[in-house]
Amino acid sequence: MNTNRFMKSECDSNVSYLSLQRMNTKKDLRELSSEELTSELKALGAPSFRAKQIREWMWQRGASSITDMQNLPKDLREKLDEKYFLSKAVLHEQQISSDKTIKCAFKVDGDKVVEGVLIPTTKRMTACISSQVGCSLACKFCATGRLKMMRNLTGGEIFDQVNYLRNEAQSRYNTPLTNIVYMGMGEPLLNYKNMMQSIQWITSPEGLGMSPQRITVSTAGIAKMIKKLGDDQVKFNLALSLHAANDEKRNKIMDINESNNLEVLSEALKYFYEKTGTRITFEYIIFKDFNDSIQDARELAEYSKQLPVKINIIEYNPIDDGEFQQASSEKVEAFAKFLESKNMIVNVRRSRGKDIDAACGQLANKNKVVDERVFKK
């Protein structure tokens, strides 16, 4: 398989059509709940069983437009088409790494770009997906943080990334998709409603039918929304992008810590665990001479004592002109060993897809279809 190979999607010609649809007064059919869809069909004089057929087209058969729904009567399709459209994340470009990682650029609204990544390993086949076009949090070490926040993705557009990567896993590697991580572009908890809708259809028997325990939502730390996850008693996993276990250091790399500091997050995480009983993951990107010392490990171990957690130590992937660098393998090993000596569950995650900028923190770093105008000045 060729390294760094680009492919153009045949679906790209649909982008301008989809963009024009969003510009008019039509509503997105995929944003209707099952109850709302049934009610709308009743108002149009259609029997309720049509709702199941429409859901099948939207969430299983990948319809790009209402006219694709050929088992619906023509007059019903025309009535629906007058009021609704289907939002879609459309594949534009695709790269395949030497380690078989696949990075996909999806277009939404015709000109906006989000990225999703398929990560094959010996034990897992993971889809890393985006929840927003750009990001408002501006974490210092993240390429996406350099982009302007443009808009939230719809639940359907998030779902489309998963569905496409799931099909790629099966067709290219003859392996089913095993895991989904909301760790791509954007902060999922700042797009809460649409994130939850996407998970509903990913896990529904009328959608992809995946177990929620195979899904992990990663957050930079929005305490209020972490508590809401607890109140909603979600069944999926939660990961906190921690990266430093003292406020002074975390403030330097993550602006969100100013309003959601470690004490506030601790309270929210305890609340989430009490409500769900789900072990939380701490994601810890390790940077050279910043958070890679034994003292940093000691602070992390102390912070982790408050509730059952597992810790993922993540190899850093430098971005263009970035001020942070990758910690040495010796420092990473010593850091992990210290945590293990404190009876912590620790995994060291090595980067994949680095040669195509698909690794953690690199999304939107060098994608050819990202226009210079979307970058923050």
Catalytic residue at 139? no
E-state strands within 109-187: 112-120, 125-128, 132-133, 151-152, 179-182
Q: What is the CA radius of gyration of the chain?
A: 21
> Which member of 40, 93, 104, 115 is catalytic?
115
Measured from the Cβ of residue 223, the count of other Cβ atoms closer than 10 Å reads 22
Q: How is residue 262 written in tokens?
A: 């470690």
Q: Which three-class secondary structure state does DSSP give residue 17?
A: helix
Residues 72 and 171: their CA atoms lie apart, in Å, by: 29
| CA 70 to each of CA 38, 44, 60, 61, 241: distance values in angstroms, whole numbers, following the listed order | 19, 18, 14, 12, 45
Compute, in degrees rounded to 10, the torsion defined by CA atoms 237, 165, 360, 226.
-30
Question: Six-digit token pair at 358?
Answer: 């698909």
Nearest CA to 300 out of 262, 348, 269 is that of 262
Q: What share of the chain is helix, strand, coil (3-state, %, to 5)?
A: 40, 20, 40
Task: Let me know: does 347 contact 313? Beta carbons within 8 Å.
Answer: yes
Cβ atoms within 10 Å, residue 204: 15
Q: Report how far apart the first and last C-alpha atoms of the chain are (Å, whole number).
A: 38
Catalytic pick from 104, 135, 142, 360?
A: 360
| CA atoms within 13 A of residue 15's CA, in its CB half-sphere | 20
The pairing of strands 27-28 and 102-108 is unpaired
- Please indicate whether residue 360 is annotated as part of the active site: yes
User: What residue type is assigned to position 11 of the chain?
Assistant: C
- By annotation, the residues acting in catalysis are 115, 360
